[in-house]
């Protein structure tokens, strides 16, 4: 399991909104090419997913709570379970675990990615705040 924590200069609600905007995940998660599905997420609702290099699969939210968001995504040979714990002062802990034959091959490339994802989420929230 990979994990990292960081303080993001945004409200808990802004962080939560960014995590629940599934169709915008590719704007800050480099692995995702596109996510297609409903604008309003619900636990268990499937989203069509395209990831690099050219895999298609599915993403589903498994937990949507004020202080926690979790989802799973998978493509042939790869499954990831991701969690985001959101503290009251912008402290976010991101953890994920991966399985499948493709995950085994890619494991070295995913070392440190939890911290990278937190940095990209921070940048995305900064961009949204500037645009508002």
The predicted-structure confidence for 19-42, as pLDDT tens digits, reads as follows 999 999 999 998 899 999 999 999
Mean pLDDT value across residues 62-85: 97
52-76 per-residue burial string, b: 16 or more CB within 10 A, e: under 16: eeebebebbbeeeeeeebbbebbbe
**Cα distance between residue 4 and residue 83, in whole Å:** 11
More confident position, 110 or 69: 69
Query: Tokens 């493709």 belong to which residue?
Result: 102
Can you give the pLDDT at residue 73?
A: 97
Can you give the pLDDT at residue 21?
A: 97
Answer whether residue 53 shows pLDDT above 90: no
* Angle at the Cα of 38 from the Cα atoms of 96 and 95, rounded to 5 degrees: 10
**Cα distance between residue 29 and residue 52, in whole Å:** 11
Spatial strand order of the sheet with 55-65 comes to 2-7, 91-99, 78-86, 68-75, 55-65, 46-51, 32-36
pLDDT band at 8 (very low <50, low <70, confident <90, very high): very high
């Amino acid at each position: 399991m990979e994990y990292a924590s960081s303080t993001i200069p945004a409200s808990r609600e802004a962080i939560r909104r960014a995590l629940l905007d599934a169709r915008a995940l590719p704007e800050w998660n480099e692995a995702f090419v596109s996510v297609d599905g409903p604008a309003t997420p619900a636990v268990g609702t499937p989203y069509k997913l395209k990831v690099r290099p050219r895999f298609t699969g599915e993403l589903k939210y498994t937990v949507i709570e004020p202080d926690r968001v979790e989802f799973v995504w998978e493509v042939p040979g790869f499954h990831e379970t991701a969690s985001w714990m959101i503290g009251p002062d912008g402290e976010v802990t991101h953890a994920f675990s991966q399985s499948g034959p493709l995950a085994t091959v890619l494991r070295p490339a995913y070392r440190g990615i939890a911290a990278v994802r937190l940095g990209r989420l921070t940048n995305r929230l900064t961009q949204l705040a500037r645009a508002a």
